[in-house]
Amino acid sequence: TQVQEKLMALLAADYLVNPQVQVFLDTTSNPRKVFISGAVNRPGSYTISTERATTIMEAIAMAGGFGKEAAVNKTRIIRIENGVEKTVDVRVNDIIQKGDKAQDVAVRPDDIIFVPESFF
């Protein structure tokens, strides 16, 4: 609405009497994606909802779940915050085995979720 009002004011000042303006945002041109790599069944980029938060477990499910060789407790999210790279470690076993939903953190657009392989 602010863009609409600004455009109407600018058009009314020099060009038109009672201008009418409608502004539509195209949200499909900039999809919100996360990138999932490592020991998951279908690594790749996945579109996340604009309507509600997507958790790390939901994102892993989009990638077909953990692979057999996954070191699930070493899962991490790599994200950029204020121009600085930040790593968030996620103890997935706390979510799965203990039912600790608080550990099921929300992912953000452009996050990289990395699931390393277990060596044993």
Residue 87 is predicted with a pLDDT of: 95
Nearest Cα neighbor of 57 from 39, 75, 33 is 75
Side chain identity at residue 59, one-letter code: A
For the whole model, what pTM was predicted?
0.72
DSSP structure string for 80-117: EETTEEEEEEE-HHHHHTT--GGGSPEE-TT-EEEEPB
Spans in the chain with pLDDT lower than 50:
none
Residue 27 is predicted with a pLDDT of: 59
Q: What is the pLDDT of residues 25-46, one digit of tens each?
A: 765 556 789 999 999 999 999 9
pLDDT averaged over every residue in the chain: 90
CB-based contact 105:77 (threshold 8 Å):
yes
